[in-house]
Structures are given as structure tokens and as C-alpha cells.
């Protein structure tokens, strides 16, 4: 899980921005800016504009099948 988080966290600051999320989603397939923002709102539960590891882990555990597929691509 941590390895996948680090793939999303391109600049290594310990959090995933909407730009970083969008960049990874583009490598997985087409994701519109609206889709990226929707995912940010869903995963960023504290509303600070970033996805921290705790928020990522919660999403990961709730969506294991999806995240296993993501891990294969990344």
C-alpha cells in the first residue's frame, strides 16, 4: 500500500495533490478534470485539498479489488 501511495505522491511531500492524482489517473486511462475533483472530494475526508496516507489507506482498504488492479499497472 505504501509503495502505491509513493507512486501517486510524485514530489514526495507525504500527500497527494489533485495534480498528482490526475497525473496518475491519466497513466491508467482517460480521467477528466471533473472526475479527478470528484475522487479528491471522495478520498480527502478532512477537506484540506490533499490526500494523506491515512486517507489513502482508508480508500485502499475499502476498494481492494480496484487498488490491486492499479498496483499491477503502476
28-74 confidence digits (pLDDT tens): 887 899 999 999 999 999 999 999 999 999 999 999 998 888 888 87
Q: Give me the pLDDT at residue 27, please.
A: 85
Q: Give me the pLDDT at residue 2, please.
A: 95
- DSSP run (H or E) holding 52: strand 51-52
Cell numbers of 5, please? 501511495
Read off the pTM: 0.89
Comparing C-alpha atoms, which of 20, 6, 12 is closest to residue 49? 20
Q: Give me the pLDDT at residue 28, please.
A: 83
Domain spanning 1-73: which CATH class is it, in words?
Answer: mainly alpha
Amino acid at each position: 500500500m505504501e509503495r502505491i501511495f509513493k507512486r501517486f505522491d510524485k514530489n514526495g511531500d507525504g500527500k497527494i495533490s489533485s495534480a498528482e492524482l490526475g497525473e496518475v489517473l491519466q497513466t491508467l486511462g482517460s480521467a477528466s478534470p471533473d472526475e479527478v475533483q470528484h475522487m479528491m472530494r471522495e478520498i480527502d475526508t478532512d477537506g484540506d485539498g490533499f490526500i494523506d496516507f491515512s486517507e489513502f489507506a482508508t480508500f485502499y482498504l475499502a476498494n481492494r479489488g480496484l487498488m490491486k488492479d492499479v498496483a499491477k499497472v503502476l
